[in-house]
Every structure is written in structure tokens, then in C-alpha cells.
């Protein structure tokens, strides 16, 4: 939270007796919870500041981003790719925007640095001299323990300030560092994530927190994130890593939410093996060059029933006929699909089946679909 300066206006929790008299009958202001004072500012006095992006339109420095998905689908490899791009000042996939170079701090409770994390980072071509892994907290009696977000958040901030140019902090998974906090209770989770968000704003680093999915069904992918909804609420942006329902070898990186920018399409990637020599192999992300218009809800939808497969064939034929003479605006396709009685989810899957490409003429322009 941004600190209030000396110009911030102050209110003492209720007007004084001298101004309005004592209405409580006992010499105290009615309804006052304590002797602290309210700090407030007029919005007209606040200076606007642009968002400082790590990945333009997707992940901001100074804010929390959530990445959720089932095990073994590539979440950690995606984080390694992000770390590589950050430490080298590289280009982000598809949009090819340049990343502001900086250092990375990693908290990882599931993988070993020596045989997994370091090889993955090297396979992603990261600058290892700019990456630091937080191993443990050493107590005054020399014993070591796992980092705890409820007790050690100031230590993490101090480490970032010591390193000086930290642009990204990965916490994988966030639930491993909550201590005794019940991850299903909103109030307790918010009590941990609020200080984390404050620290992110102070050190101006993007914090990416990994979480898993629960086994519950339902139409909204957002509700599949494990634990309290406070995890999703705390992130200014959130992403789902999942298997492509149309191609089992491909993984999708799809937006779950974005409170700080216009909606962005998803991305796709594959996990590739890389031989690093000396008997060391590692997996790394190879990003596709095209955007993905499938939504997280569509990707997590239950498998189709036989009658739905029939609808898919009809949608493929319909969409192919619609686009055979050239590209078409996606809004027009949506309108035509509605008139034809074809569900948009089915149209999206037909689009993937046909290999239709979606292109955007300008930042503010619409999407046009074209047959390959």
C-alpha cells in the first residue's frame, strides 16, 4: 500500500465534542473503535502513475499474478521461461515486446535446485548470475526452517532491496509457504497476501504465485483454483496452465482474470527436452507463434458427449464455408453463429480443428479469423 505523506488529511474517528457535542452521554465519541486516526486523501490531489509492466498487458511489476494448473503440465517450466526472459531482457512470446532486464528470486518447495531448477533455467537460456534461490531461514540458534510468508515477509523484502534490481519473484507453490494458515479461509489467506502485495508495490517487483487446481467441476475455471478465492482475488492477473483439449501434446496458457489491462488472448506451448551435456537433460518451454482465442472456461469444460461431437462436425463444416472466401471479423462470426444456433464454445473448437488463425490489425481493433 502506498505510504501516506505529511500532506495526507487526518480524521480522528469522529467529530469532536466542541464541534457537535457529546451524543453518547458518557463523554466519549459514539461508535469510535479506538484512538487511531483515519488517513485519507482527495482523489484530485493524487498524482497518476503508469503501470510498470514486466510483461506488457499481462504481468505488472509491483503486483501479484497467480498461475494455476494441475501437476505435470508445465507450470514450473513456464516460470523458468519467464525468469530467462527477465534476466536477459529478452522478448516475450508472440507479441515480441521487450522485457526490462532484472534479477529473479525463486522460492520453490517442490524441486531441487541442483538437479531440476538450475538445469531448467539453463535450458531456457537464463542468466544464472541474476537468479537467486531462497533456500531457508536460519534462526539465531543456527537451526534452519522453511520460509514462512506470515513471519518472514520483511526478510524477503530486505533481500530484494539488497540485490537491488529484482524484477520478478516466483513462489512455487504459494500454499507451501503459508505456515499454519488455513488455505481455505478467506480472512486468513487475505491476511497473508495483503502484506505480500504491499511488499511487491514497495520493491516494484512482479510476484508470480503458483497454485494447483481442485477436483470440483463447474462452468468457471476461476473457481477451480485450489483453496480460498482470496488467492485469485489478490492477484491483479491470473493464468491457467492446462492441456489443449484438441491436441494432447500442446499446453495452453490462458487468462483467468486481468484487472489492470484489456483482455488478452491466451498462448500455447510445448514442453521440449534439451540435452545440456555431461549427462544432464532438462525440459523447457517452446512457445507457439500464434495467439489462442480459446478461453479458460472452454478449455476446462467436460469432454463432449456423442451428440456434441456431431455438433462439432456441423460447426466445422459451417465455419469452413463461412471463411472460404476470405477473413472475417470475429464479432460477425459470433453473430452468424448465434443466428445459426451454434454454440460459441463449439465454434471455438471448430476453429482449433480447422487451424483458423486469429490476427489483430491494431491494439484497439477487432480480431479477424482466416483459414490457413
Q: Read off the pTM.
A: 0.75
Q: How many Å apart are CA 163 and CA 168, to the nearest integer?
A: 12
Same domain? For 272 and 156 the reply is yes
Q: Are residues 99 and 221 in the same domain?
A: yes
Are residue 239 and residue 327 in the same domain, yes or no?
no
Give ∠ CA 290-242-120 in degrees, rounded to 5. Answer: 80
Per-residue pLDDT tens listing for the chain (372 residues): 444 454 444 444 444 334 444 444 444 444 566 678 999 999 999 999 999 999 999 999 999 999 999 999 999 999 999 999 999 999 999 999 999 999 999 999 999 999 999 999 999 999 999 999 999 999 999 999 999 999 999 999 999 999 999 999 999 999 999 988 888 888 999 999 999 999 999 999 999 999 999 877 666 888 888 888 888 888 899 999 999 988 888 999 999 999 999 888 999 999 999 999 999 999 999 999 999 988 898 888 776 555 555 787 888 889 988 888 888 888 889 888 888 888 888 888 888 888 888 887 665 667 888 887
CATH code, domain carrying 285: 3.40.50.300
**Residues 238, 291 within the same domain:** yes
If asked whether residues 186 and 257 sit together in one domain, one would say yes
Do 287 and 311 lie in one domain? The reply is no
Boundary (domain end) residue, out of 248, 278, 298: 298
* 227 and 343 together in one domain: no
Residues 252 and 342 in one domain: no
CATH assignment of the domain containing 332: 1.10.10
On whether both 290 and 339 belong to a single domain, the answer is: no
> Looking at the domain assignment, is residue 43 inside a domain?
no
Domain of residue 206, residue span? 53-298
Same domain? For 236 and 358 the reply is no
Give the pLDDT confidence score for residue 194 in this predicted structure. 94
Could you give the number of structural domains in the chain? 2
Are 199 and 226 in the same domain?
yes
Amino acid at each position: 500500500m502506498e505510504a501516506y505523506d505529511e500532506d495526507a488529511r487526518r480524521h480522528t474517528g469522529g467529530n469532536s465534542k466542541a464541534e457537535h457535542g457529546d451524543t453518547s452521554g458518557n463523554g466519549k465519541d459514539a461508535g469510535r473503535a479506538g484512538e487511531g486516526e483515519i488517513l485519507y486523501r482527495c482523489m484530485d490531489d493524487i498524482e497518476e502513475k503508469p503501470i510498470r509492466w514486466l510483461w506488457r498487458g499481462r504481468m505488472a511489476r509491483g503486483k501479484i499474478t497467480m498461475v494455476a494448473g494441475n501437476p505435470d503440465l508445465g507450470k514450473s517450466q513456464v516460470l523458468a521461461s519467464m525468469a530467462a526472459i527477465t534476466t536477459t531482457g529478452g522478448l516475450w512470446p508472440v507479441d515480441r515486446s521487450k522485457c526490462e532486464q532484472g534479477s529473479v528470486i525463486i522460492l520453490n518447495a517442490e524441486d531441487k535446485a541442483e538437479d531440476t531448477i538450475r538445469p531448467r533455467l539453463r535450458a531456457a537460456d537464463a542468466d544464472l548470475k541474476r537468479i537467486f534461490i531462497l533456500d531457508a531461514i536460519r534462526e539465531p540458534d543456527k537451526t534452519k526452517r522453511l520460509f514462512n510468508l506470515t513471519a518472514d515477509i520483511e526478510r524477503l523484502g530486505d533481500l530484494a532491496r539488497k540485490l537491488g534490481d529484482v524484477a520478478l519473484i516466483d513462489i512455487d507453490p504459494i500454499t507451501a509457504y503459508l505456515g499454519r494458515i488455513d488455505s481455505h479461509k478467506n480472512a486468513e489467506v487475505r491476511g497473508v497476501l495483503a502484506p505480500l502485495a504491499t511488499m511487491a508495490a514497495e520493491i516494484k517487483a512482479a510476484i508470480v504465485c503458483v497454485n494447483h487446481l481442485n477436483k470440483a467441476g463447474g462452468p468457471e475455471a476461476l473457481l477451480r483454483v485450489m483453496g480460498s478465492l482470496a488467492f485469485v482475488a489478490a492477484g491483479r492477473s491470473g493464468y491457467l496452465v492446462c492441456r489443449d483439449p484438441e491436441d494432447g501434446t500442446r499446453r495452453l496458457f490462458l487468462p483467468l482474470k486481468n484487472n489492470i489491462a484489456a483482455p488478452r488472448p491466451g498462448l500455447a506451448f510445448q514442453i521440449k527436452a534439451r540435452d545440456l551435456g555431461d549427462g544432464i537433460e532438462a525440459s523447457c518451454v517452446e512457445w507457439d507463434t500464434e495467439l489462442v482465442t480459446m478461453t479458460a472456461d472452454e478449455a476446462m469444460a467436460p469432454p463432449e458427449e456423442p451428440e456434441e461431437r456431431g455438433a462439432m462436425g456441423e460447426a466445422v463444416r459451417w465455419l469452413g464455408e463461412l471463411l472460404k472466401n476470405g477473413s472475417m471479423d470475429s464479432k460477425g462470426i459470433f453473430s452468424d453463429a448465434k443466428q445459426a444456433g451454434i454454440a460459441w464454445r463449439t465454434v471455438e473448437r471448430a476453429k482449433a480443428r480447422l487451424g483458423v488463425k486469429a490476427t489483430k490489425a491494431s491494439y484497439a481493433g477487432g480480431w479477424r479469423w482466416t483459414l490457413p
